[in-house]
Chains A and B, each alone.
Chain A
Amino acid sequence: MSRRTVSGLLMMFGVCGVLAASPVLADEVPDRPAAPAAPAAATKAPDVPTAAKYAAPGAVKPDAEGFVPDSRPANMNTVDESIPAAPLVATAYGFIWLAVLGFVLVTLQRTRRLEQEIADLSERINNPSGKPAGKASRA
């Protein structure tokens, strides 16, 4: 069997696999009738479900399009008002600046160092006489 045949077969297998996992063939992706409530607090007995995922409906109502979330702690319906928003937004924005600037500075520094080493090495190659052979460092 040629490699191409094997690859072709496996590609088909792959496509089938992806289709199998997709909503087209899956019959249980649309709204689950049971409604989940709070997920695990880890210390419950084995026969009581830790995520009340499979419990009788009632804890969280599905929204307008029947969407019932897979994972959601109990208090997620309301925004936490006790924390001021502005510092969070400012921190987030500031962090992005820091990350990008940090990357730019580090890259510039490495580039400059490398250019210097290239210049040194070119110099030594072009003027081989009069300079003792020494170890050139690898960047």
Chain B
Amino acid sequence: MSFVGQVALLLWKDIRVEARAGELIYATGLFASIVVLLFSFSFLGGSPPTVEVMAGVLWVALALSGMLGISRSFERERESDTLRAILLSPTPRAALYLSKLLSMALLMLIVVVVVLPGLLLLFGMRVDGGEAWLRLFALLGLGIIGFSSVAALFGAALGRARVREILLPLLVYPLVVPVLLAGARGTYAVLYGTPEALVDASRWIKFLLAFDALSVTCGLWLFEPLCGHE
């Protein structure tokens, strides 16, 4: 089977498991909406929220909900020991890493689907024009990949650590700060909307591209040493 085929098969396995259980999608989606609600209570009491606030809320909600979903996903894998089973098979490690990355990314996409409308409705966020939307989606897409690349690596690597529930966020969040930074600043530029701002957003998109390239490469190189020795 080709490399891409293996990645697709592993990814499909994750999707089918989740489709049957459903727990992860609903729980993560619900958590994401609760986070948006919490933020709306905090910020919408007095004067109307600024564009910076909206950008920040989007990315923090993404980070929090994403972490929850990813954490739970790996917990479930550990419970049924499926990760070790796959590691024992002759699947190339790179395929396993990429499939994990993509399934985490899909999970975070669900979070976006919940959070973005929440912001549009509750916060009155406005994105003007097709170009702005395009940039917003690029930021979100690249941001999700960056976040997932780090989380997939360390989620799989944590194995049987004693305090893994607290350790995963502690390891992943510092490393994905550049993603959150670029995402929030880029989103702010997109929401602001002027042509110069959109040019600025493109700069942040390029930054995210560079970061994603770096982190996916690092993840591929590190996956075998960190996880392959179970």
Q: Does A64 contact B (CB under 8 A)?
A: no
Q: Any chain B CB within 8 A of the CB of A76?
A: no
The dominant DSSP class at the B interface is helix
A42 proximal to B (CB < 8 A): yes
**A18 on the B face (CB < 8 A):** yes
Is there contact, CB below 8 Å, between B206 and A21? yes
A11 at the B interface (CB under 8 A):
yes
Q: Are B221 and A17 in contact, CB atoms less than 8 angstroms apart?
A: no
**Residue numbers in B under 8 Å from A46 (CB-CB):** 48-51, 54, 124
How many residues of chain A are within 8 Å of chain B by beta carbon?
A: 32
Query: When the two chains form their complex, are residues B214 and A18 in contact, meaning their CB atoms are under 8 A apart?
Result: yes
Q: How far is the CB of B51 from chain A (nearest CB, A)?
A: 5
Interface string of A2-17 (1 = CB under 8 A from B): 0100110011011111
What's the least CB distance linking A8 to chain B, in Å?
10
**A14–B93 alpha-carbon span in the complex (Å):** 19
Residues in chain A within 8 A of chain B (CB atoms): 1, 3, 6-7, 10-11, 13-18, 20-21, 25-26, 28-29, 32-34, 40, 42-46, 49-51, 53-54
8 cross-chain pairs, A with B, having the tightest CB-CB distances, nearest first: A17-B213, A21-B210, A1-B3, A14-B213, A17-B210, A14-B217, A10-B217, A21-B206
5 A-B residue contacts at CB 8 Å?
Answer: A3-B92, A6-B92, A13-B213, A20-B206, A25-B206
Residue positions of B touching A, CB distance < 8 A: 2-3, 46-54, 92-94, 124, 192, 194, 196-197, 199-200, 202-203, 206-207, 209-214, 216-217, 220-221
